[in-house]
Amino acid sequence: MDSVLAFVIGVVIIVIGLAVSIGLHEIGHLVPAKLFGVKVTQYMIGFGPTLWSKRKGETEYGVKAIPLGGYISMIGMFPPAKGERAGADSTSFFRGLVQDARDSSSESITAGDEHRAFYLLPVWKRIIVMFGGPFMNLVLAVLLFAVLLMGFGVAQASTTVGSVSACALPATSERQTCEPGDPAAPGAAAGIEPGDRIVSVDGTPIDSWVQSTAIIRDHPDEPIDLVVERDGSEVTLTVTPMLSERYATDEQGRVVTDAAGDPVTVQAGFVGIGAATETVQQPVTAVLPAVGENVAGVAGIILNLPQRMVDVANAAFGPDERDPNGPMSVVGVGRVAGEIASLDEIPLASKAAGLVGIVGSLNIALFVFNLIPLLPLDGGHIAGALWEGIRRTFAKLFHRPDPGPVDMAKLMPLTLAVVVILGGMSALLIYADIVKPVALF
């Protein structure tokens, strides 16, 4: 029962975190819009039926039943068409979409507020209004990652031995347990014990586990002195690393992969010891690089989204396993959060850090995803404003008539296609997260 309650608490925390993130995203649009004089009629968190609302001034603030998004309603989102009659575009479904968007935008402008329409704002002000939402998610992500890295800290390999292997298995071995006939690991034979803190290797003082590993890998079949601190005293051991197939690593100790993404193997010295981890609080200078890495990771997923969705479909409807680094829906995110919260093997601080990291990653995903230059996303409006600015700049340079605002309403058929595609992707991810969830533990 306790684990079930903890699971529910984890899910609730993520739901609240997502709602707050969405609310702040919309505030990022609301505040600059009001500052620039645009009339904002609604500020809503969620979609569907309204659960609660209150009007303050000219704006209705409320919460809706489905907390999977939010919006603000600004009057005059689209400019009126040039030289077209009101009913002239109703001859086809797609033209009807365009005209309906124009009509809805026109009807939102009440008498006396004509000068407060969104499309009348200068280009740079429209960009600020539309970028304000994603920017709020970026700011929130930076704050959350600062709490995660500087407050909770990051688990890192220490210079203390955490495990000693009894045998030596190649890096690509499918077995994880020793069997009779397997060669003994040099570390165990030399008398290295879990809890030993490595002081020096081959006469070189050791500051990090990566440093000790590099020295060991460079001395296969050569006896080297290993000084460890055990029970407050230094003990000198002699160990002979054996030549073994190991994964190639870079200077940070990360496994090197080839062009296909497969790990590269090399022949190197091997002792058979593993590091104990310790939580280390990071400096403030580590926050922005961490956020940048996450932004790049999300951007990479989006750029390869078609193939990623094919992989999700193959896993959902076939025997394949889900990619832990692939996309998932809010259902999958909630499930992961619940599993973290219900784990008995990790302390409360680690659970809290995991949930903070999830909310931070969600905000990075909201930041990157909303900047895709397609309507109805914020990036689509930003792209339209930039294109308008380019057109007007060239017209001014070449002394041509002002082309006027870009008619974004013409993109309504494309917007509908984007909405249908996003809806289908969301449905697939939700289904996959139910029948074939991502296994992280």
Positions marked catalytic: 26
Q: Tell whether omega for the bond before 376 is within 30 degrees of 0, i.e. cis.
A: yes
Cβ count near 330 (within 10 Å): 17
The alpha-helical segments, DSSP class H, found in 238-346 are 287-303, 305-317, 330-342
Residues 362 and 18 sit within 8 Å (Cβ to Cβ): yes
Q: What is the largest CA-CA distance in the chain?
A: 92
The alpha-helical segments, DSSP class H, found in 73-148 are 93-107, 123-146
Sequence-separated contacts (24+) of 102-109 with Cβ below 8 Å: 102/78, 102/409, 105/75, 105/76, 105/77, 105/78, 105/79, 105/409, 106/76, 106/80, 108/41, 108/73, 108/75, 108/76, 108/77, 109/75, 109/76
> For the CA atoms of 344, 345, 350, 353, what is the dihedral angle to 10 degrees?
-60
Distance CA 291, CA 138 (A): 9
Residue with tokens 């310790």, as numbered in its chain: 278
Least Cα distance to 166 among 157, 174, 176 occurs for 176
- Taking phi over 0 as left and psi of -120 to 50 as alpha, with beta for the rest, 191 belongs to left
Q: Which tokens belong to 45? A: 């968190």
Bridge partners, 50 (sequence order): 64
Distance CA 303, CA 314 (A): 19
Cβ count near 11 (within 10 Å): 20
Give me the amino acid identity at 435: V
